[in-house]
Structure 1
Amino acid sequence: MQLSLKNRRKWLLGGGLLLLTATPSFAIFGIGDIVFDPTSYASLVSQLTTLQTQYTMLKNNIEHFSIKQQWQTTLTALKNANVKNMFGETNGMTTALNSNSPSASTAGWTAATVPVSSDLPTYIGSQAPGSPQLSQLAMIEMSDSVSPDCITAVGQYRAARTQNATANSSLTANQLDGGSSTNSEVQQLNLLNAAEAQKISEMQSQGVLQACVASQMAVANMQQRNAAATDLNTAVFVQTQHAAHDMSAASEGNTWQTYLP
Protein backbone atom coordinates (compact mmCIF):
# COMPACT_ATOMS: atom_id res chain seq x y z
CA MET A 1 0.00 0.00 0.00
CA GLN A 2 2.77 2.44 0.89
CA LEU A 3 4.60 1.46 -2.27
CA SER A 4 1.54 2.23 -4.31
CA LEU A 5 1.22 5.69 -2.74
CA LYS A 6 4.87 6.41 -3.41
CA ASN A 7 4.48 5.36 -7.04
CA ARG A 8 1.42 7.56 -7.41
CA ARG A 9 3.29 10.51 -5.96
CA LYS A 10 6.13 9.95 -8.40
CA TRP A 11 3.75 9.80 -11.33
CA LEU A 12 1.88 12.93 -10.24
CA LEU A 13 5.14 14.83 -9.69
CA GLY A 14 6.47 13.75 -13.09
CA GLY A 15 3.21 14.71 -14.81
CA GLY A 16 3.24 18.12 -13.18
CA LEU A 17 6.79 18.79 -14.32
CA LEU A 18 5.85 17.68 -17.82
CA LEU A 19 2.93 20.09 -17.90
CA LEU A 20 5.13 22.97 -16.71
CA THR A 21 7.68 22.42 -19.49
CA ALA A 22 5.19 21.75 -22.33
CA THR A 23 4.33 24.31 -25.07
CA PRO A 24 0.77 25.60 -25.46
CA SER A 25 0.16 22.99 -28.16
CA PHE A 26 -1.99 19.97 -27.75
CA ALA A 27 -3.18 17.05 -29.80
CA ILE A 28 -6.64 16.88 -31.28
CA PHE A 29 -8.84 13.82 -30.78
CA GLY A 30 -5.93 12.01 -29.21
CA ILE A 31 -3.96 11.89 -32.46
CA GLY A 32 -0.40 12.71 -31.59
CA ASP A 33 0.81 14.11 -34.93
CA ILE A 34 -1.96 16.79 -35.25
CA VAL A 35 -1.07 19.67 -32.97
CA PHE A 36 -3.05 22.88 -32.48
CA ASP A 37 -1.01 26.01 -31.57
CA PRO A 38 -3.24 28.91 -30.39
CA THR A 39 -0.39 31.44 -30.70
CA SER A 40 0.32 30.60 -34.35
CA TYR A 41 -3.40 30.60 -35.13
CA ALA A 42 -3.84 34.10 -33.68
CA SER A 43 -0.86 35.39 -35.73
CA LEU A 44 -2.25 33.82 -38.90
CA VAL A 45 -5.66 35.40 -38.34
CA SER A 46 -4.01 38.80 -37.83
CA GLN A 47 -2.03 38.45 -41.05
CA LEU A 48 -5.10 37.41 -43.04
CA THR A 49 -7.04 40.38 -41.67
CA THR A 50 -4.26 42.75 -42.72
CA LEU A 51 -4.07 41.23 -46.21
CA GLN A 52 -7.83 41.48 -46.62
CA THR A 53 -7.77 45.16 -45.63
CA GLN A 54 -4.96 45.87 -48.09
CA TYR A 55 -6.76 43.96 -50.85
CA THR A 56 -9.99 45.91 -50.26
CA MET A 57 -8.12 49.21 -50.34
CA LEU A 58 -6.25 48.33 -53.55
CA LYS A 59 -9.41 47.08 -55.19
CA ASN A 60 -11.23 50.32 -54.42
CA ASN A 61 -8.30 52.37 -55.69
CA ILE A 62 -8.14 50.42 -58.95
CA GLU A 63 -11.83 50.05 -59.70
CA HIS A 64 -13.47 53.11 -58.20
CA PHE A 65 -12.30 56.73 -58.22
CA SER A 66 -15.12 58.55 -56.53
CA ILE A 67 -13.71 62.09 -56.93
CA LYS A 68 -12.60 61.99 -60.57
CA GLN A 69 -14.62 65.10 -61.47
CA GLN A 70 -11.89 67.25 -59.95
CA TRP A 71 -9.77 66.39 -63.01
CA GLN A 72 -12.40 67.56 -65.48
CA THR A 73 -11.39 70.26 -67.96
CA THR A 74 -13.25 71.92 -70.81
CA LEU A 75 -12.06 71.91 -74.42
CA THR A 76 -12.34 75.48 -75.68
CA ALA A 77 -14.33 75.56 -78.90
CA LEU A 78 -12.96 77.69 -81.72
CA LYS A 79 -15.42 80.02 -83.42
CA ASN A 80 -15.44 79.67 -87.19
CA ALA A 81 -13.96 82.63 -89.00
CA ASN A 82 -16.30 84.59 -91.26
CA VAL A 83 -14.44 87.11 -93.38
CA LYS A 84 -16.52 89.76 -95.16
CA ASN A 85 -16.33 89.75 -98.94
CA MET A 86 -18.19 92.75 -100.28
CA PHE A 87 -16.54 92.99 -103.71
CA GLY A 88 -14.62 89.73 -104.04
CA GLU A 89 -11.57 91.12 -102.23
CA THR A 90 -11.38 88.11 -99.89
CA ASN A 91 -12.54 85.29 -102.16
CA GLY A 92 -11.70 81.94 -100.54
CA MET A 93 -10.44 83.44 -97.27
CA THR A 94 -13.32 82.16 -95.11
CA THR A 95 -12.89 78.65 -96.48
CA ALA A 96 -9.13 78.83 -96.01
CA LEU A 97 -9.38 79.88 -92.35
CA ASN A 98 -11.79 77.08 -91.47
CA SER A 99 -10.48 74.10 -93.43
CA ASN A 100 -7.30 72.48 -94.70
CA SER A 101 -7.38 73.98 -98.23
CA PRO A 102 -4.08 75.28 -99.66
CA SER A 103 -5.80 76.32 -102.88
CA ALA A 104 -8.33 78.44 -100.99
CA SER A 105 -5.50 80.02 -98.98
CA THR A 106 -3.60 80.97 -102.13
CA ALA A 107 -6.72 82.34 -103.80
CA GLY A 108 -7.69 84.34 -100.73
CA TRP A 109 -4.21 85.81 -100.31
CA THR A 110 -3.96 86.73 -104.00
CA ALA A 111 -7.34 88.45 -103.98
CA ALA A 112 -6.55 90.41 -100.79
CA THR A 113 -3.09 91.76 -101.78
CA VAL A 114 -1.79 94.31 -104.28
CA PRO A 115 -0.32 92.54 -107.33
CA VAL A 116 3.11 93.39 -108.73
CA SER A 117 3.03 95.12 -112.10
CA SER A 118 3.74 92.95 -115.10
CA ASP A 119 6.04 95.72 -116.40
CA LEU A 120 8.34 95.43 -113.37
CA PRO A 121 11.01 93.30 -115.14
CA THR A 122 11.47 96.03 -117.74
CA TYR A 123 12.49 98.58 -115.12
CA ILE A 124 14.38 96.60 -112.47
CA GLY A 125 15.42 93.48 -114.34
CA SER A 126 18.94 94.81 -114.84
CA GLN A 127 19.50 95.63 -111.15
CA ALA A 128 21.80 93.55 -108.99
CA PRO A 129 20.50 91.73 -105.90
CA GLY A 130 20.63 94.00 -102.87
CA SER A 131 19.20 97.04 -104.62
CA PRO A 132 16.27 98.73 -102.81
CA GLN A 133 13.77 97.63 -105.46
CA LEU A 134 14.92 94.01 -105.59
CA SER A 135 14.97 93.87 -101.78
CA GLN A 136 11.38 95.03 -101.70
CA LEU A 137 10.51 92.43 -104.33
CA ALA A 138 12.22 89.72 -102.24
CA MET A 139 10.12 90.69 -99.23
CA ILE A 140 6.94 90.53 -101.31
CA GLU A 141 7.88 87.14 -102.70
CA MET A 142 8.65 85.75 -99.23
CA SER A 143 5.37 87.06 -97.91
CA ASP A 144 3.47 85.55 -100.83
CA SER A 145 5.09 82.20 -100.04
CA VAL A 146 4.70 81.88 -96.28
CA SER A 147 1.42 83.75 -95.75
CA PRO A 148 -0.84 81.30 -97.63
CA ASP A 149 0.85 78.43 -95.78
CA CYS A 150 0.10 80.11 -92.46
CA ILE A 151 -3.52 80.66 -93.44
CA THR A 152 -3.73 76.96 -94.35
CA ALA A 153 -2.20 76.01 -90.97
CA VAL A 154 -4.83 78.07 -89.15
CA GLY A 155 -7.62 76.44 -91.14
CA GLN A 156 -6.15 72.99 -90.58
CA TYR A 157 -5.97 73.60 -86.83
CA ARG A 158 -9.59 74.77 -86.69
CA ALA A 159 -10.77 71.79 -88.74
CA ALA A 160 -8.78 69.34 -86.59
CA ARG A 161 -10.26 70.74 -83.37
CA THR A 162 -13.76 70.20 -84.79
CA GLN A 163 -12.99 66.69 -86.03
CA ASN A 164 -11.38 65.65 -82.74
CA ALA A 165 -14.14 67.04 -80.52
CA THR A 166 -15.99 63.69 -80.35
CA ALA A 167 -12.82 61.73 -79.56
CA ASN A 168 -11.82 64.23 -76.87
CA SER A 169 -15.25 64.11 -75.27
CA SER A 170 -15.26 60.30 -75.29
CA LEU A 171 -11.82 60.12 -73.72
CA THR A 172 -12.81 62.61 -71.03
CA ALA A 173 -15.99 60.67 -70.25
CA ASN A 174 -14.08 57.39 -69.87
CA GLN A 175 -11.39 59.00 -67.73
CA LEU A 176 -13.97 60.52 -65.39
CA ASP A 177 -16.23 57.46 -65.28
CA GLY A 178 -16.44 56.02 -61.79
CA GLY A 179 -17.84 52.63 -62.73
CA SER A 180 -15.93 49.38 -62.73
CA SER A 181 -16.20 48.89 -66.50
CA THR A 182 -13.53 51.50 -67.28
CA ASN A 183 -11.45 51.49 -64.13
CA SER A 184 -9.32 48.40 -64.24
CA GLU A 185 -5.61 49.03 -64.16
CA VAL A 186 -5.12 48.07 -67.83
CA GLN A 187 -8.03 50.22 -68.96
CA GLN A 188 -6.74 53.23 -67.05
CA LEU A 189 -3.28 52.78 -68.55
CA ASN A 190 -4.83 52.63 -72.03
CA LEU A 191 -6.69 55.86 -71.33
CA LEU A 192 -3.45 57.50 -70.24
CA ASN A 193 -1.79 56.35 -73.47
CA ALA A 194 -4.68 57.77 -75.50
CA ALA A 195 -4.39 61.09 -73.67
CA GLU A 196 -0.66 61.21 -74.39
CA ALA A 197 -1.32 60.53 -78.08
CA GLN A 198 -3.81 63.39 -78.21
CA LYS A 199 -1.29 65.62 -76.45
CA ILE A 200 1.35 64.79 -79.06
CA SER A 201 -1.07 65.64 -81.89
CA GLU A 202 -1.89 68.96 -80.24
CA MET A 203 1.79 69.77 -79.78
CA GLN A 204 2.49 68.99 -83.44
CA SER A 205 -0.33 71.29 -84.54
CA GLN A 206 0.95 73.99 -82.22
CA GLY A 207 4.42 73.52 -83.71
CA VAL A 208 3.09 74.23 -87.21
CA LEU A 209 1.44 77.42 -85.96
CA GLN A 210 4.61 78.50 -84.19
CA ALA A 211 6.60 77.95 -87.39
CA CYS A 212 4.14 80.21 -89.21
CA VAL A 213 4.53 82.91 -86.57
CA ALA A 214 8.32 82.72 -86.92
CA SER A 215 8.15 82.97 -90.70
CA GLN A 216 5.82 85.97 -90.51
CA MET A 217 8.17 87.64 -88.05
CA ALA A 218 11.02 87.09 -90.50
CA VAL A 219 9.09 88.87 -93.25
CA ALA A 220 8.18 91.73 -90.89
CA ASN A 221 11.80 92.04 -89.78
CA MET A 222 12.90 92.13 -93.40
CA GLN A 223 10.55 95.02 -94.09
CA GLN A 224 11.78 97.00 -91.08
CA ARG A 225 15.40 96.22 -91.89
CA ASN A 226 15.03 97.31 -95.53
CA ALA A 227 13.30 100.53 -94.48
CA ALA A 228 16.10 101.36 -92.04
CA ALA A 229 18.78 100.55 -94.62
CA THR A 230 17.03 102.73 -97.22
CA ASP A 231 16.98 105.68 -94.82
CA LEU A 232 20.70 105.31 -94.12
CA ASN A 233 21.52 104.97 -97.79
CA THR A 234 19.50 108.11 -98.59
CA ALA A 235 21.41 110.10 -95.97
CA VAL A 236 24.76 108.90 -97.34
CA PHE A 237 23.70 109.71 -100.90
CA VAL A 238 22.64 113.26 -99.99
CA GLN A 239 25.86 113.93 -98.10
CA THR A 240 27.91 112.58 -100.99
CA GLN A 241 26.11 114.78 -103.48
CA HIS A 242 26.55 117.87 -101.31
CA ALA A 243 30.27 117.24 -100.99
CA ALA A 244 30.73 116.68 -104.72
CA HIS A 245 28.59 119.58 -105.92
CA ASP A 246 28.96 123.00 -104.30
CA MET A 247 25.46 124.28 -103.62
CA SER A 248 26.51 127.42 -101.73
CA ALA A 249 25.43 130.92 -102.72
CA ALA A 250 27.79 133.15 -104.72
CA SER A 251 29.15 134.91 -101.63
CA GLU A 252 29.50 131.79 -99.51
CA GLY A 253 32.73 129.87 -99.07
CA ASN A 254 31.51 126.39 -98.20
CA THR A 255 28.57 123.98 -98.46
CA TRP A 256 26.05 123.34 -95.72
CA GLN A 257 26.90 119.67 -95.18
CA THR A 258 24.26 118.88 -92.58
CA TYR A 259 21.31 119.88 -94.69
CA LEU A 260 18.96 117.14 -95.81
CA PRO A 261 16.06 117.81 -98.22
Structure 2
Amino acid sequence: MSGTVDLNADLGEGFGVWRLGDDEALLGVVTSANVACGFHAGDPTTMRRVCAGAARAGVAVGAQVSYRDLAGFGRRFIDVAPAELADDVLYQLAALDGIARAEGTRVRYVKPHGALYNATGTHTEQARAVVDAVVAHDPALPVLGLPGSALLRTAEAAGLRPVAEGFADRGYTPDGGLVRRREPGALVHEPAEVAQRAVRMAVEGTVLAVDGSVVPAAVESICVHGDTPGAVELARAVRTALAGAGVALGPFAG
Protein backbone atom coordinates (compact mmCIF):
# COMPACT_ATOMS: atom_id res chain seq x y z
CA MET A 1 0.00 0.00 0.00
CA SER A 2 0.99 3.65 -0.49
CA GLY A 3 2.75 5.52 2.29
CA THR A 4 0.29 8.42 1.86
CA VAL A 5 -3.46 8.38 2.34
CA ASP A 6 -6.20 11.00 2.22
CA LEU A 7 -8.58 11.56 5.15
CA ASN A 8 -11.98 12.92 4.14
CA ALA A 9 -15.20 13.87 5.89
CA ASP A 10 -18.65 15.09 4.87
CA LEU A 11 -19.01 18.80 5.68
CA GLY A 12 -21.54 21.58 5.17
CA GLU A 13 -24.49 19.32 5.92
CA GLY A 14 -26.49 21.89 7.83
CA PHE A 15 -29.28 23.92 6.28
CA GLY A 16 -30.22 27.49 7.13
CA VAL A 17 -30.20 27.91 10.91
CA TRP A 18 -29.69 24.18 11.44
CA ARG A 19 -26.12 22.97 11.98
CA LEU A 20 -24.98 19.36 11.66
CA GLY A 21 -21.47 18.42 12.73
CA ASP A 22 -18.51 20.62 13.62
CA ASP A 23 -17.20 21.75 10.24
CA GLU A 24 -14.60 24.12 11.66
CA ALA A 25 -13.01 21.50 13.91
CA LEU A 26 -13.00 18.84 11.19
CA LEU A 27 -11.26 21.21 8.78
CA GLY A 28 -8.35 21.17 11.21
CA VAL A 29 -8.08 17.38 10.98
CA VAL A 30 -9.01 16.14 7.50
CA THR A 31 -7.18 16.63 4.22
CA SER A 32 -10.29 16.61 1.98
CA ALA A 33 -13.81 17.94 2.58
CA ASN A 34 -16.85 16.48 0.83
CA VAL A 35 -19.09 19.55 0.74
CA ALA A 36 -22.86 19.16 0.47
CA CYS A 37 -24.16 21.00 -2.60
CA GLY A 38 -27.72 21.82 -1.55
CA PHE A 39 -29.67 18.78 -2.73
CA HIS A 40 -29.45 16.60 0.40
CA ALA A 41 -28.16 19.33 2.73
CA GLY A 42 -26.30 22.60 2.59
CA ASP A 43 -27.24 26.03 1.31
CA PRO A 44 -25.24 28.78 -0.43
CA THR A 45 -24.16 30.44 2.82
CA THR A 46 -23.07 27.14 4.36
CA MET A 47 -21.27 26.11 1.17
CA ARG A 48 -19.39 29.41 1.07
CA ARG A 49 -18.44 29.25 4.73
CA VAL A 50 -17.03 25.73 4.40
CA CYS A 51 -15.17 26.54 1.17
CA ALA A 52 -13.61 29.60 2.81
CA GLY A 53 -12.53 27.50 5.79
CA ALA A 54 -11.13 24.80 3.54
CA ALA A 55 -9.13 27.37 1.58
CA ARG A 56 -7.63 28.75 4.80
CA ALA A 57 -6.79 25.28 6.08
CA GLY A 58 -5.36 23.96 2.81
CA VAL A 59 -8.03 21.26 2.63
CA ALA A 60 -9.14 19.98 -0.79
CA VAL A 61 -12.79 20.68 -1.63
CA GLY A 62 -14.89 17.92 -3.15
CA ALA A 63 -18.47 18.15 -4.43
CA GLN A 64 -20.71 15.77 -2.52
CA VAL A 65 -23.55 15.37 -4.99
CA SER A 66 -26.88 13.77 -4.19
CA TYR A 67 -30.38 12.96 -5.24
CA ARG A 68 -32.76 15.92 -4.89
CA ASP A 69 -33.91 14.81 -1.43
CA LEU A 70 -33.65 17.37 1.38
CA ALA A 71 -36.42 15.70 3.39
CA GLY A 72 -34.67 12.34 3.33
CA PHE A 73 -31.11 13.69 3.64
CA GLY A 74 -30.31 11.98 0.36
CA ARG A 75 -30.61 8.54 1.91
CA ARG A 76 -33.55 7.34 -0.17
CA PHE A 77 -33.07 5.75 -3.59
CA ILE A 78 -34.76 7.71 -6.37
CA ASP A 79 -35.32 6.05 -9.74
CA VAL A 80 -34.60 9.24 -11.65
CA ALA A 81 -34.02 9.23 -15.41
CA PRO A 82 -30.28 9.15 -16.15
CA ALA A 83 -30.33 12.35 -18.23
CA GLU A 84 -32.12 14.21 -15.45
CA LEU A 85 -29.72 12.82 -12.85
CA ALA A 86 -26.75 13.96 -14.93
CA ASP A 87 -28.24 17.47 -15.06
CA ASP A 88 -28.82 17.46 -11.29
CA VAL A 89 -25.23 16.41 -10.63
CA LEU A 90 -23.89 19.01 -13.05
CA TYR A 91 -26.00 21.70 -11.37
CA GLN A 92 -24.62 20.84 -7.92
CA LEU A 93 -21.04 20.52 -9.11
CA ALA A 94 -21.07 23.82 -10.99
CA ALA A 95 -22.70 25.67 -8.09
CA LEU A 96 -20.13 24.51 -5.55
CA ASP A 97 -17.26 25.14 -7.93
CA GLY A 98 -18.39 28.72 -8.47
CA ILE A 99 -18.63 29.34 -4.73
CA ALA A 100 -15.28 27.66 -4.11
CA ARG A 101 -13.57 29.82 -6.73
CA ALA A 102 -15.00 32.94 -5.09
CA GLU A 103 -13.18 31.85 -1.92
CA GLY A 104 -9.83 31.23 -3.60
CA THR A 105 -10.09 27.48 -4.13
CA ARG A 106 -11.99 25.13 -6.47
CA VAL A 107 -13.70 21.76 -6.57
CA ARG A 108 -11.00 19.11 -6.93
CA TYR A 109 -13.04 15.88 -6.98
CA VAL A 110 -16.58 14.50 -6.91
CA LYS A 111 -18.18 12.05 -4.48
CA PRO A 112 -21.82 10.92 -4.49
CA HIS A 113 -23.67 11.02 -1.18
CA GLY A 114 -25.86 8.51 0.62
CA ALA A 115 -28.29 6.55 -1.50
CA LEU A 116 -26.70 7.79 -4.72
CA TYR A 117 -23.31 6.55 -3.51
CA ASN A 118 -24.80 3.15 -2.75
CA ALA A 119 -26.77 2.99 -6.00
CA THR A 120 -23.75 3.77 -8.16
CA GLY A 121 -22.03 0.75 -6.69
CA THR A 122 -24.10 -1.48 -9.00
CA HIS A 123 -26.55 0.73 -10.95
CA THR A 124 -24.73 1.25 -14.22
CA GLU A 125 -27.12 3.86 -15.66
CA GLN A 126 -26.90 6.08 -12.59
CA ALA A 127 -23.12 5.59 -12.43
CA ARG A 128 -22.93 6.71 -16.04
CA ALA A 129 -25.10 9.76 -15.27
CA VAL A 130 -22.72 10.89 -12.54
CA VAL A 131 -19.71 10.35 -14.78
CA ASP A 132 -21.36 12.19 -17.68
CA ALA A 133 -21.89 15.23 -15.45
CA VAL A 134 -18.27 15.22 -14.31
CA VAL A 135 -16.99 14.91 -17.88
CA ALA A 136 -19.24 17.79 -18.95
CA HIS A 137 -17.94 20.08 -16.20
CA ASP A 138 -14.27 19.12 -15.92
CA PRO A 139 -12.84 15.78 -17.12
CA ALA A 140 -9.75 16.38 -14.97
CA LEU A 141 -11.76 15.82 -11.77
CA PRO A 142 -11.26 12.48 -9.96
CA VAL A 143 -14.29 10.49 -8.79
CA LEU A 144 -14.38 8.98 -5.31
CA GLY A 145 -16.20 5.67 -4.69
CA LEU A 146 -16.10 2.13 -3.35
CA PRO A 147 -13.42 -0.21 -4.74
CA GLY A 148 -14.84 -2.29 -7.58
CA SER A 149 -17.97 -0.17 -7.90
CA ALA A 150 -19.76 0.51 -11.18
CA LEU A 151 -19.02 4.19 -10.56
CA LEU A 152 -15.25 3.73 -10.53
CA ARG A 153 -15.30 1.33 -13.48
CA THR A 154 -17.40 3.76 -15.51
CA ALA A 155 -15.23 6.71 -14.50
CA GLU A 156 -12.08 4.92 -15.60
CA ALA A 157 -13.63 3.91 -18.91
CA ALA A 158 -14.51 7.57 -19.52
CA GLY A 159 -10.94 8.68 -18.90
CA LEU A 160 -11.54 10.02 -15.39
CA ARG A 161 -9.33 9.16 -12.44
CA PRO A 162 -11.09 6.61 -10.17
CA VAL A 163 -10.18 6.92 -6.48
CA ALA A 164 -11.02 4.03 -4.16
CA GLU A 165 -12.40 5.00 -0.75
CA GLY A 166 -12.72 3.17 2.56
CA PHE A 167 -14.93 3.94 5.56
CA ALA A 168 -13.37 3.77 9.00
CA ASP A 169 -16.68 4.27 10.83
CA ARG A 170 -19.00 2.06 8.76
CA GLY A 171 -19.64 -1.66 8.83
CA TYR A 172 -18.87 -3.74 5.73
CA THR A 173 -20.76 -6.67 4.23
CA PRO A 174 -18.78 -9.77 3.16
CA ASP A 175 -19.03 -8.69 -0.49
CA GLY A 176 -17.34 -5.34 0.21
CA GLY A 177 -20.46 -3.19 0.38
CA LEU A 178 -21.62 -1.06 3.30
CA VAL A 179 -24.09 -2.37 5.87
CA ARG A 180 -27.40 -0.54 5.53
CA ARG A 181 -27.74 2.15 8.18
CA ARG A 182 -30.88 0.60 9.66
CA GLU A 183 -29.17 -2.75 10.23
CA PRO A 184 -27.01 -3.83 13.18
CA GLY A 185 -23.31 -3.09 12.75
CA ALA A 186 -23.82 -0.25 10.28
CA LEU A 187 -21.88 2.27 12.36
CA VAL A 188 -18.66 1.92 14.35
CA HIS A 189 -18.50 4.36 17.27
CA GLU A 190 -15.46 3.42 19.35
CA PRO A 191 -12.50 5.70 18.48
CA ALA A 192 -9.87 3.01 19.03
CA GLU A 193 -11.70 0.56 16.75
CA VAL A 194 -12.30 3.21 14.07
CA ALA A 195 -8.60 4.15 14.17
CA GLN A 196 -7.52 0.51 13.97
CA ARG A 197 -9.74 -0.08 10.95
CA ALA A 198 -8.29 2.97 9.20
CA VAL A 199 -4.72 1.78 9.79
CA ARG A 200 -5.57 -1.69 8.51
CA MET A 201 -7.02 -0.26 5.31
CA ALA A 202 -4.07 2.07 4.76
CA VAL A 203 -1.34 -0.46 5.59
CA GLU A 204 -2.80 -3.87 4.64
CA GLY A 205 -5.51 -2.91 2.16
CA THR A 206 -8.17 -4.92 3.98
CA VAL A 207 -11.07 -4.43 6.39
CA LEU A 208 -13.07 -6.82 8.58
CA ALA A 209 -16.68 -7.38 7.53
CA VAL A 210 -19.48 -7.70 10.10
CA ASP A 211 -19.26 -11.51 9.88
CA GLY A 212 -15.53 -11.46 10.67
CA SER A 213 -14.37 -12.18 7.13
CA VAL A 214 -11.54 -10.20 5.57
CA VAL A 215 -12.58 -7.91 2.71
CA PRO A 216 -10.12 -6.32 0.24
CA ALA A 217 -10.02 -2.54 0.74
CA ALA A 218 -7.06 -1.08 -1.12
CA VAL A 219 -7.93 2.61 -0.83
CA GLU A 220 -6.43 6.04 -1.47
CA SER A 221 -8.86 7.89 0.79
CA ILE A 222 -10.48 7.08 4.14
CA CYS A 223 -13.76 8.64 5.25
CA VAL A 224 -15.02 9.55 8.71
CA HIS A 225 -18.60 10.81 8.50
CA GLY A 226 -19.07 14.35 9.74
CA ASP A 227 -22.56 13.61 11.09
CA THR A 228 -21.45 10.60 13.16
CA PRO A 229 -21.66 11.29 16.92
CA GLY A 230 -18.15 12.22 18.12
CA ALA A 231 -16.93 12.72 14.54
CA VAL A 232 -14.15 15.11 15.51
CA GLU A 233 -12.81 12.71 18.14
CA LEU A 234 -12.98 9.85 15.65
CA ALA A 235 -11.17 11.84 12.95
CA ARG A 236 -8.44 12.88 15.37
CA ALA A 237 -8.01 9.28 16.52
CA VAL A 238 -7.68 8.13 12.91
CA ARG A 239 -5.15 10.82 12.06
CA THR A 240 -3.05 10.04 15.14
CA ALA A 241 -3.13 6.30 14.48
CA LEU A 242 -2.17 6.69 10.83
CA ALA A 243 0.76 8.91 11.74
CA GLY A 244 1.82 6.39 14.38
CA ALA A 245 1.78 3.66 11.73
CA GLY A 246 4.05 5.70 9.49
CA VAL A 247 1.30 6.67 7.04
CA ALA A 248 1.53 10.25 5.77
CA LEU A 249 -1.69 12.19 5.23
CA GLY A 250 -2.35 14.31 2.17
CA PRO A 251 -5.14 15.02 -0.32
CA PHE A 252 -5.30 12.69 -3.32
CA ALA A 253 -6.48 15.56 -5.54
CA GLY A 254 -4.01 18.30 -6.41
Q: What TM-score range do you get, normalising by the shorter chain?
A: under 0.3
Structure with the bigger percentage of helix:
1
Structure with the bigger percentage of strand:
2
Relative to the length of structure 2, the TM-score reads 0.18
